[in-house]
Amino acid sequence: MAKDKPGTIEVKSFGTHHVITQPNPLRKMLLRVPESDLDDPVGRAEKALAGLSGEFKEWMTIEADRLSAAHATVLREGFNDKTREELFRAAHDIKGDAATFGYPSAAAAAESLCRIIEHAPDLAAVPAQLIAHHINAVQAIVRNRTKLDTAVVAGVLSKQLRGIADEFLTHANRDRPEHLEAILAPSIVPGE
Partner 1 sequence: MYRIDFNKLRFLICDDNPHMRRILRTLLHSFGAREVYEAEDGATALEMYTHYVPDIVITDWSMPIFDGLELAQMIRQPESKGNPYAPIIMLTGHSEKRRVTVARDAGVTEFLAKPISAKGLYQRIMNVVANPRPFIKTKTYFGPDRRRNTTNTYIGPERRGSGEVEVLQQPSLLEKARSTI
Nearer to partner 1, 40 or 127 (CB): 40
26 makes contact with partner 1 (CB under 8 A): yes
**44 is a site residue for partner 1 (CB under 8 A):** yes
Q: Which is nearer to partner 1, 16 or 146 (CB)?
A: 16
Contacts 24+ apart (CB under 8 A), 58-66: 59/97, 59/101, 60/97, 60/98, 60/101, 60/102, 60/103, 60/106, 60/142, 61/142, 61/143, 63/90, 63/93, 63/94, 63/97, 63/98, 64/94, 64/106, 64/138, 64/139, 64/142, 64/143, 66/90, 66/93
The secondary structure element, H or E, covering residue 20 is strand 18-21
38 near partner 1 (CB under 8 A): no
- The least CB distance from residue 7 to partner 1, in Å, is 5
Report in angstroms how near the CB of residue 59 gets to partner 1 at its nearest. 5
Q: Hey, which residues between 111 and 140 contact partner 1 (CB under 8 A)?
A: 111, 114
Q: x/- site string to partner 1, residues 79 to 108, per CB under 8 A? A: ----------x--xx-xxxxxxx--x--x-
- Say whether residue 9 binds partner 1 (CB under 8 A): yes
With respect to partner 1, which residue has the nearer C-beta, 5 or 171? 5
CA 38 to chain centre: 33
Phi/psi class of residue 122: alpha, beta or left (left: φ > 0; alpha: ψ in -120 to 50)?
beta
Name the residues that contact partner 1, by CB under 8 A. Answer: 1-35, 37, 39, 41-42, 44-49, 51-52, 59, 62-63, 89, 92-93, 95-101, 104, 107, 111, 114, 182, 185-189
